[in-house]
Structures are given as C-alpha cells and as structure tokens.
C-alpha cells in the first residue's frame, strides 16, 4: 500500500502561559507558582489517504482546530511528526518542504476575518500563485477568472472588496484562494459553521463538486455531526486533546463505541426527533488547564469505573478499520 | 379557546435609513398561548430578531414600529409609552440573547446583577419585597432551577469565571427570575456546544412545562426547533411565509421556501450526494419590490408571483397557513 497523503504520528501541542514579572517575584519569595500548560493536542495519530474525506469532530476546546493548523503547517507541533507522502515534513529540504506546504491549504471558519478587507478579490486570490511562480504574470488575470468560475463567483466582481460580498460569497473567495496554489489537500476548519442553512448547502455542494473534479483530499473539522456525516468517509472524534474514536463514518454513526460518541450522537437535534425528553450528558467540558486524570471523559461518563480514573485508555482497534479508546473494550 | 397570551397582528417594523426604508418586519401576525413554545425560524436578515425586539420594545432608531398591534394580555404594547413598557419588560416579558458574554456585565458579580434585576421589578407585583436577602434567595432559587450545580458559588463569581454554557444558564435564570409570562429567546444555543445545547434545551423545555411560561425561540436551526417547538413560524424577507403546528410545518411543508430549507439539512439527504439547495441569496429589504420576494429563487414561480400572495387560512385559529400562489400539494 502506498503511504498515506498525510500521516500524523504522536502529535502533541502544548501552549504555555509564561509567568509574568509579578509571579516571578512571588516565586523568588517562595510562592511556588507554576506555569499554566494546556495540552491542546495530546498524542494524536491519524493517517489520511489520498482522495479521502476525514471528518474531525469535537466540542470547543478539544483541540480540533489546533490539530487542523498543525496539519496545514501553520503551527509547529511541540512533539511528533507530520508526514507528507511518507516523508517527515520538518526534515525535508527547503524546496520540497515548500511544495509540501503548498499542497496543503486551509479554509477558515469566519469569512469576515479571513479575508484582507483592504485587498480586492483578484489580488487576494491571485497573490499566492504569482508569488510562488505558478502562473506567468500575463496569464494571471485569466487564471483568477477561471478560479472564480469554479467556485461559483462571477469574474466580473473581481475588482471588488470583501465587504461588498455576502458571507456565502466570501467563503467562496476563501475557497478560491486556497485552490489557487493547486493543493491536493484542504483543511476545512468549521468552513460552513457561520453560514445560513441554504447557503451552507451551497458550500457543501461546492466541496463535493471540487472533490470530484480535482481529486481533493479533505480534513473536515466541524462540531456539526450532520454536516460531517454527509461529507466524510471516515471520522475521528476528539475530546480534550485526544482522539477517542475513529472509523468509517457509516459504522461510527450507526454503532458508536465510545460513550462520548454515543452521548454526542444522542444529543444532536434532528428533524425527525420531535419534542423528546432530553436526557443530556451531565456536566461541563472540563478545563484543559486541569484535565481529569485517566480517561478525560470519566467525570461525565455513565459507565465510569475505578480504572477510568487512574489509567489513560489507549486507542485500540476494536474492529477492522475502527478504533476506540475506552476501558469498556477490555 | 382561551384568550392567547400574546397576539401579534400585522406588525410592521421599518428602519428609516439614509439609503431608504428597510422593511425588516413587514406584516407579521401570530398568536401564542401560555406554556407553548413558538419556533421563529429564518435565515439572517429575515426579520426574526427584529420581530422579537419589537415585542419587547427594544427597537432602536432609525427603526420604528410603523403599524400593527402587539396584544399582550389584552394591552397593545406597540402603543404604550416607554415608561409603561418598562414595567412589562423584564417583569412580564423577558429576553435571552444569543451571546451570554454580552448579556452579563463583566465587572459585576452575578449576585449583584441578579439582585438588581429582582429589586428593579419588585414594585410591579411584589409590594414589600424590597429586602436584599429575599432578592438573593430568589436569585438562588432561579439558578438552581436552571440546573446550575453549585448556585451559591455561582452567585459569588464574575461572568468571566463561568463557561459559556454556565453564562447562558445564568442569563436564562435572570430571565426566569421574575416569573415572566413570556420569554423571547434569540438564538440562545447557537454559540454553545452540542452537549451543552442539549442540556439547555432540556432545561428550557422543562421550565416551560412547569411554570406555564410561553416561549418564542428565535433560530436559524430547524433541527433545534424540531426538538422543542409546539408551533413553527418560518420567516422570509420580513414576512411569515408559513405558520402552523410543528409537525405540520416539518412533515407537510406547503411553502417552497420551507421545503427548500428542510431539504438542505444534511441529515435529510443521502450521504455524499449533492444537497438540495436553494439557489441565490436572500434579497435586500431596502425598498423591496411588491410581490413574493422569494420568486427569484423559487422553482415554482410564475407571472402571478409578481402580485403579493395573501396568507391562506386564519392564523388566529392555529391552522396551518402559508403565503404562496403555488403551494406544494398537501400530502
């Protein structure tokens, strides 16, 4: 089997809040203050094969966006390796590293914050291919027109500024900008979360169309299980920095194994679920500054046992292609 | 049938801007009984929030209620002067906003804010409940009611010490505290996580059942509305285009826009196939042309749609009504 397009191995990402001057003086006097450390991503392995759509699901603060940024190369992991076609990206020679980073592009959640408000659309889309020498200068204009048509925008609007577009159109501009460097892999971080239902459907359809046209591979990050289920071949569920379950989308949605996945699926409001009595999961998402020991989910888990409080469950294969990190699986 | 708690009749709220008149709400009518939950659904710019703001009297200039009546317990709120309206607002009608971080004052502790809210309205129905301690007890009870695990500690906290879900619970507790007859909730769970949203939906539904408070739940999310609403009103471009019992609207939509919205929900579609999408985007409400404003995006539109479609049916009887020349067949 060929190497996966992107493989993450033991990725960790820590954010440390350094002690300020007052705290350091306090420590000199014996206050014993410690730096706050957040394990945003805590040992994640994930392989994404070419042409696949992987959905990454989790609630706020679970580290899914951080992981997406590491995959896109915007953020360097504190530990672990990102492999692109089998090669460690950090160890590649400069030229190849550039090619690898161009091949992975990212689409952001907020179509208002992710576009430079002082740049016209054509320079937003056309800048990267020009800088990287992908398109000769005299063909740039035609290239931008083509891209705009591909994402469903009228090229006549290319001299406009972002504020002259609606949210759905701006998201299309963001997609065109990502496509401009001919990527193989798109990281979509909540790319449809800020859009209205009817516009969301249009953008999801655009993703499906682009996938069929250009054989794109996606990492689709979302908290919306309905969207993820519709788009993904495989899903990974994250909770507080760790992947708790992974597997083919149909299998995971039909028969969730991890209690957190089960709770998440039970919680999702659906059109065919009317006025039911909710039996919500108890408790809050714990603070990532002080995650509970053992299995992070145990304070909210209905099946928690003694072992869950002490021992971190490992992500184990429970069926072909399916993994889950729960002590209930033995 | 009992007298409805709230009866909105042909409400018009327009914004008079330099560029022209924006008809944000243009002829909205519905009725709501005690203990019922109305889901007010629409996309951004459909006028759903302005409808809510009009009822509670929070429309700011250049916006103005230019027509219609808002009958609340038989009194017309649209005609009341501001000092009179103040007595209703917060006491009889409360509002929950989308962003709990914006609702609470960041520099005051929760107890200060909640006690202030109780005492401000004590003159309305309570008479001598002027003591701080009684207000505090009431705040405590309200926090316990919305499912906050340690209400005493929560009272002493500042808003930034609470999570988003907790803050939204506090906001709901503040709204419930004066035992209002009507709560208007504007996208209260949109900013929350799925499991927290589930908890809030559960609490709100339980509170409405137990206290008989009526609720208007404003949202763009049809799946949330399906979970809690008794009745659903779908808004498009300042008008209610379809209105009826939740099951009728969700299972047997008559207006093409409602049907389009329902079809674009991913879980309704077979996996991986393109979603049924509504082409185009919502029209500008600045000096809108006459006729059905959905006609440019509608597959069923004909020349007849250039004339305003009348509302078919009587909204006050609770029947399934819609505003369309070419409705989908009743299944």
CATH number for the domain spanning B215: value is: 3.40.50.300
Q: Which residue did the predictor score with more confidence, B182 or A36?
A: B182
pLDDT, tens only, A208-241: 888 888 889 999 998 888 888 888 999 999 998 8
DSSP-derived 3-state class of residue A253: helix
- The answer to whether the Cβ–Cβ distance between B226 and A273 falls below 8 Å is yes
In degrees, rounded to 5, the angle at the alpha carbon of residue B74 between the alpha carbons of residues B69 and B75 is 60
* Distance (Å, whole) CA B218 – CA B200: 15
Examine the domain organization and report whether B262 and B123 are in the same domain: no
At A275 the pLDDT is: 61
Q: Please give the residue range of the domain that contains residue B289.
A: 1-92+180-293+321-331
Q: What is the mean pLDDT of chain A?
A: 87
Which residues of chain A from 60 to 89 reach within 8 Å of chain B, CB to CB? 60
* A53 pLDDT more than 90: yes
* Distance (Å, whole) CA A92 – CA A83: 10
At B124 the pLDDT is: 42
* Distance (Å, whole) CA B73 – CA B71: 6
Whole-prediction pTM value? Answer: 0.81
Give the architecture (CATH level 2) of A6-261.
Answer: 3-Layer(aba) Sandwich (3.40)
Residues of chain B found within 8 Å of residue A59, distances taken between Cβ atoms: 193-196
- The answer to whether the Cβ–Cβ distance between A205 and B275 falls below 8 Å is yes
Examine the domain organization and report whether B58 and B187 are in the same domain: yes
pLDDT, tens only, A98-132: 888 899 999 988 877 889 999 999 999 999 999 98
- The answer to whether the Cβ–Cβ distance between A197 and B264 falls below 8 Å is yes
Neighbours of B224 (CB within 10 A): 22
Nearest-by-CA chain B residue for A281: B195
How many domains, in total, are found in chain B?
2
| Separation in Å, CA of A69 to nearest CA in chain B | 21
- The answer to whether the Cβ–Cβ distance between B193 and A204 falls below 8 Å is no
| Separation in Å, CA of B282 to nearest CA in chain A | 10
| Separation in Å, CA of A131 to nearest CA in chain B | 34
Examine the domain organization and report whether B105 and B24 are in the same domain: no
Residues of chain B found within 8 Å of residue A263, distances taken between Cβ atoms: 195
Among the three residues B111, B138, B169, which one is the final residue of a domain in this structure? B169
- The answer to whether the Cβ–Cβ distance between A201 and B205 falls below 8 Å is no
* A278 pLDDT more than 60: no
Per-domain residue ranges of chain A:
6-261
Mean pLDDT of A31-51: 86
Work out the percent of chain A whose per-residue pLDDT is above 90: 31
pLDDT, tens only, A182-216: 899 999 988 888 777 888 888 898 888 888 888 89
Among the three residues B169, B188, B223, which one is the final residue of a domain in this structure? B169
Q: What number is the ipTM of this complex?
A: 0.74
At A284 the pLDDT is: 72
Q: Write out residues in chain B with pLDDT < 70, as ranges.
A: 1-2, 122-130, 314-318, 330-331
Are the CB atoms for B37 and B217 separated by under 8 Å?
yes
Q: Which residue did the predictor score with more confidence, B163 or A83?
A: A83
Residue A221 CB partners (closer than 8 Å, separation 6+): A55, A56, A64, A65, A67, A68, A187, A188, A189, A190
């Amino acid at each position: 089997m060929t190497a996966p397009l992107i493989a993450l191995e033991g990725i960790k990402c820590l954010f440390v809040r350094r002690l300020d001057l007052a705290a350091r003086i306090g420590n000199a006097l014996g206050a014993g203050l410690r730096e706050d450390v957040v394990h945003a991503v805590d040992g994640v392995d994930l392989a994404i094969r070419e042409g696949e759509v992987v959905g990454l699901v989790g609630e706020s603060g679970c580290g899914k966006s951080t992981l997406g940024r590491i995959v896109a190369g915007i953020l360097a992991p504190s530990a672990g390796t990102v492999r692109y076609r089998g090669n460690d990206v950090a160890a590649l020679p400069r030229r190849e590293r550039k090619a690898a980073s161009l091949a992975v592009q990212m689409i952001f959640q907020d179509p208002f914050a992710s576009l430079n408000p002082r740049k016209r659309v054509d320079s937003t889309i056309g800048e990267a291919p020009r800088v990287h020498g992908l398109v000769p200068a005299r063909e740039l204009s035609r290239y931008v027109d083509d891209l705009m048509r591909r994402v469903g925008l009228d090229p006549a609007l290319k001299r406009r500024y972002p504020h002259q577009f609606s949210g759905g159109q701006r998201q299309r501009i963001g997609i065109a900008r990502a496509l401009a460097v001919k990527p193989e892999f798109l990281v979509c971080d909540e790319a449809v979360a800020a859009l209205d239902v009817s516009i969301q459907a249009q953008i999801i359809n655009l993703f499906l169309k682009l996938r069929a046209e250009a054989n794109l591979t996606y990492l689709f990050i979302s908290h919306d299980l309905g969207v993820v289920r519709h788009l993904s071949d495989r899903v990974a569920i994250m909770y507080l920095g760790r992947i708790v379950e992974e597997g083919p989308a149909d299998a995971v949605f039909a028969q969730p194994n991890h209690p957190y996945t089960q709770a998440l699926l039970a919680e999702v409001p659906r059109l065919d679920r009317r006025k039911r009595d909710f039996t919500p999961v108890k408790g809050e998402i714990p603070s990532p500054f002080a995650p509970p020991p053992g299995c992070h989910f145990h304070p909210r888990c209905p099946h928690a046992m003694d072992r869950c409080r002490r021992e971190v469950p490992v992500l184990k294969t429970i069926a072909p292609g399916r993994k889950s990190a729960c002590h209930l699986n033995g | 049938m009992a007298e409805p708690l709230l009866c909105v009749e042909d409400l018009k709220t327009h914004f008079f801007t330099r560029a022209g008149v924006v008809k944000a709400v243009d002829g909205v009518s519905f009725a709501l009984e005690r203990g019922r939950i109305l889901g007010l659904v629409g996309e951004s710019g459909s006028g759903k929030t302005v409808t809510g703001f009009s009822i509670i009297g929070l429309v700011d200039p250049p916006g103005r209620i230019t027509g219609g009546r808002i009958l609340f317990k038989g009194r017309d709120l649209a005609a009341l002067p501001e000092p009179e309206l103040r007595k209703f607002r917060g006491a009889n009608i409360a509002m929950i906003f989308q962003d709990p971080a914006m609702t609470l004052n960041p520099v005051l502790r929760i107890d200060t804010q909640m006690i202030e809210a109780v005492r401000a309205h004590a003159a309305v129905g309570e008479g001598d409940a002027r003591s701080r301690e009684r207000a505090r007890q009431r705040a405590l009870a309200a926090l316990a009611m919305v499912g906050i695990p340690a209400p005493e500690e929560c009272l002493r906290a500042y808003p930034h010490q609470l999570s988003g879900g907790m803050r939204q619970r506090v906001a709901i507790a503040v709204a419930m505290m004066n035992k209002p007859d009507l709560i208007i909730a504007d996208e209260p769970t949109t900013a929350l996580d799925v499991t927290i949203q589930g908890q809030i939906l559960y609490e709100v539904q339980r509170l409405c059942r137990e206290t008989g408070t009526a609720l208007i739940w404003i949202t763009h999310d049809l799946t949330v509305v399906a979970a809690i609403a008794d009745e659903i009103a779908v808004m498009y471009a300042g008008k209610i285009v379809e209105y009826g019992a939740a099951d009728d609207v969700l299972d047997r939509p008559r207006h093409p826009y409602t049907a389009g919205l329902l079809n674009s929900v991913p879980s309704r579609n077979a996996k991986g196939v393109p979603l049924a999408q509504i082409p185009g985007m919502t029209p500008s409400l600045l000096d809108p042309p006459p006729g059905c404003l959905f006609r440019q995006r509608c597959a069923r539109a004909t020349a007849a749609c250039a004339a305003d479609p009348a509302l078919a049916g009587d909204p006050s009887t609770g029947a399934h009504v819609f505003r369309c020349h070419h409705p989908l067949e009743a299944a």
